[in-house]
Structures are given as C-alpha cells and as structure tokens.
Amino acid sequence: MITIALLTIGETIRKKILWVLIALAVVAVILTAWGVTLVMSAARQAGTSDLQIKLGVSQVLIFIAFQFDFVLAMTAAFLGSPAIAADLESGVAQAVLARPLRRSSYLVGRWLGLATVVALYAALSGLLAIAAVALVSGYTPPNILSPVAYLAGQAIILLTFTIVFSTRLPAIAGGAIAVVAYGIAWLAGVLGHIGIALGTNGLVGVSDLARILLPTDTLWQGVVYGLEPSVVIATIGQAQLAQGNPFFAAEPPPTAFVLWAVAWIVLALGLATVLLRRREL
C-alpha cells in the first residue's frame, strides 16, 4: 500500500501536477494579497472604521476560500477520476495486480497518495492565503488550522467519491459525476440555509439528507466558521437571517457530523474496494 501511495505521489510530481498546483496556489495568494490591499486602501480613504474593515476583510477571505474550495474540489475530481480507471483502461493495472498485492492495498494506496497531495495543496494554499491577508490587513482569523483542515477534508471526500466511480466507470464519466454531485450538494446546502431563514422544514430536511449522502457542504460550514472574526459570531450569530447565509456560520459542524464524514470516507473506500475486487481484469 505504501509503495503504491509513494508511486502515486511520484506520479503527480513527474507529471508536473504538483508543481502546477503549487504555482497556482502562489499566483492565487499574490492576487489575494493584492486585492485585499486595494480593499484596505479604499476603505481607509473612505474613513471606514477598523471593525468594519475587519469584517470586510474576513468576508473577502471567506469568498476567496469559497473560490479556492471550488478549485480544490475540481482538482480532487480531476485527480481521483482517472486514479483507477486509467490504470485499468491502459493495462498498467494488469501488470501491477498480478503481483502479490491485494486490490484493497492498491486502491487505498492510490487514495492515500492522492489524498496526501490534495491535503498538501489545501494546506499550502490555505495557509499562504491566510498569511498574505494577515500581512497586508492585519486580520488573522481566530482559528488558522481548522478552516484549512475542513477545506482539505472536503477535497478528500470528493476525491474518495470520484475514486469509487473510478473503479467501474471511465475517467471522464466519474469526474463529471463528481463535479455534478458536488454542485448539487452545495446547492442543497444553500437551499438548507434558505429553508432555515424561511422556517421551511421540508427544505431543511432535503438539505440534511444531501449533506449526509455527500458530506462536503457541512464541512464548508467549518471553513466559514474558522475564518469569521469572533465578534461577528457573537453579534449576529443568533439572527435567523444570518443563519440563512451560506457565507456565514454561527457554529462549527457538529462533532457527530465530522465523525460521520470520517466514517463516510471509510465506507466509500470499502465500497470502492468491493467494486474493484469484483471487477474482472
């Protein structure tokens, strides 16, 4: 399993995927810093108070995180969808799986390698963006590590989701399904927020079901919560309208849900293993 994981990480390096991701992260961070600088200077010229600037910067940071979250999800789908399918289609898997290597070890090895790359990318980009914003605006989110961890968690869930499909479907089909599912899960999350704001239980129920089936959106709540200044949470956290905003979180995801997200990954890998084991090569 470790051999396959290291091979997979090596593959992303040799294929220059890792370097492209790092370069993209650096570009994104430079643009973020530049944008926040412009916002800061415009706000100071307009005589905006420091508290308001802090609020504004935190919102900009959340929007940047949202953009980055999308890019990360696409990256995860892009990396995960060919992980098994391409090896099976090309014939590379035949030579590898004829060795004393369990299919579960091969699959988990591929997942572990890609999850490491995705997590590294999330950590690098997230931490650099937070550091750049802190440097130019002086705003530091109350919790630095948890939003990055939630970002990485979301990406790993989507990666796992695509790997399940990769055991049976061609790469392009699995990737397309993952992107659509991610979009639906996000939309379901937005509808859930609207449901809370309007007090519509049915909408909230559908949203909760979607979050259980693909637990990416609730982890997004963790990203937002970690990036918000504590004063925002204390001031408007209980307002019903605020709870209807997908870019606001009054509380972090419940621990039970985080545990479910971890269990979801384990179950999905189990399903992928069964699907791969049953596949004739």
Residues forming contacts to other proteins in the complex (CB under 8 A) are 3, 7, 11, 14-15, 90-92, 94-102, 280-281
Which residue is it, tokens 């499909």? 165
Q: Shortest approach of other proteins to residue 83 CB, angstroms?
A: 13
CB 226 within 8 A of CB 242: no
Pick the closer one to other proteins by CB: 109 or 147. 109
**Interatomic CA distance for residues 167 and 85, integer angstroms:** 6
Q: Shortest approach of other proteins to residue 7 CB, angstroms?
A: 6
Q: Shortest approach of other proteins to residue 16 CB, angstroms?
A: 10
| Pick from 174, 85, 82, 79: nearest CA to 122 | 79
**Interatomic CA distance for residues 44 and 220, integer angstroms:** 31
Pick the closer one to other proteins by CB: 14 or 49. 14
Q: Shortest approach of other proteins to residue 267 CB, angstroms?
A: 25
Q: Shortest approach of other proteins to residue 215 CB, angstroms?
A: 33
Pick the closer one to other proteins by CB: 91 or 254. 91
Pick the closer one to other proteins by CB: 3 or 52. 3
**Interatomic CA distance for residues 180 and 97, integer angstroms:** 31
Interacting residues of 214 by C-beta distance below 8 A, sequence separation 6+: 157, 161, 181, 182, 184, 185
Pick the closer one to other proteins by CB: 90 or 240. 90
Q: Shortest approach of other proteins to residue 276 CB, angstroms?
A: 12
Pick the closer one to other proteins by CB: 86 or 187. 86
Interacting residues of 45 by C-beta distance below 8 A, sequence separation 6+: none
**Interatomic CA distance for residues 228 and 249, integer angstroms:** 8
